[in-house]
Amino acid sequence: MTIATRPLGRSGLDVTTISFGGAGIGNLYQAVSDEAAHEVLQAAWDAGIRFFDTAPRYGHGLSERRLGDFLRSKPRGSYVLSTKVGRILTPLRGREMGFYGFVDVLPFEQEYDYSYDGILRSHEASLHRLGLDRIDVLYMHDIGVDTHGVEQNAEYFPVAMSGGLKAMQELRASGDVKAIGLGVNEVEVCLQALDHAEIDAFLLAGRFTLLEQEGARPLLEACVARGTSLVIGGVFNSGILATGAVPGAHYNYAEPPAEIVERVNRLERICRSHGVPLAVAAQRFPLSHPAVASVLIGVSSKRNLDRNMAAMDVAIPDALWADLVAEGLLAPDLAPR
């Protein structure tokens, strides 16, 4: 199967419009066997996906190891690989490990380090875990107030911009990586980073979705103006756009407030009236914007991967988007055309 590709900023890289997110194969919330991880990666490859993302955080290195083991047999120029920096993994050696949402992880603790030396160490360590000699795209992971809070981020951010981002620029200039950016859940820190460096791409999770659009508008405009790409993760807002507002649904990893439930119900009603599942519209929506290069799908099973890929073949009538606009659920200028 062939999936369309788009340029990733001005990096010279072309990436598939659907990309594979490696959190699930790092045992996010539930353990996945080596065999199941390989199966879903093979299914992604067979489906035509050639853009793969991982991070040291995912399973404390487990995702990188599994992804590297899979990709090592593939021709190096046949795929694009991204991982992240900003956390150093250190051996436990008797220490108690913190819980970060991953289970049955490797015996390493995570320590934030956005310094110049820390970024270089993180990049080198990822190469060893992956068992590969090159990473194509390097994202600075989880810098910002959402992760660290106001006080802690006030300490981390200057170091990240003056030290860590400088190291990433040098890695790009030397050809060790092709593209640099941020992998975050908030818009403001992306806009701030644009004042410090030429950014190729942002991996932005949960902020440009069928449920949330207006908050991302300044970044969308800035990316178009600067030739920077967006890779959009969290298209289901951590579940509610996949399941609908059913009991137990999650919005941004928590119970959804009443206004979100009401909005999702309205979205689902309109989608249903056109015979389109809500999850299909949610997955397809971000790709309509010119700043978006790829939508990141995080799955840990072949069944879910197959379902996500089938969503790309569903016909979505223009009238669905028009009705969302008429209902005030979608800005007219952001409606797919």
For the annotated catalytic residues, the residue numbers are 53, 58, 84
21 contacts 233 by C-beta, under 8 angstroms: yes
Give Cα 250 distance to the centre of its chain: 18
Residue that has been written with the tokens 């860590």 in this structure: 164
Per-residue DSSP letter, 163? I
Q: Nearest-CA neighbor of 299 among 39, 62, 22, 33?
A: 22
Helical axes 62-71 vs 116-130, angle rounded to 10°: 50
Q: What angle do CA 51, 251, 191 make, to 5 degrees?
A: 60
The stretches of the chain forming alpha helices (DSSP H) are 34-46, 62-71, 116-130, 145-159, 165-174, 188-193, 217-226, 240-243, 258-273, 278-284, 302-311, 318-326
| Residue 65 structure tokens | 């190891």
Q: Could you give the CA distance from residue 37 to residue 26 in angstroms, rounded to a whole number?
A: 9
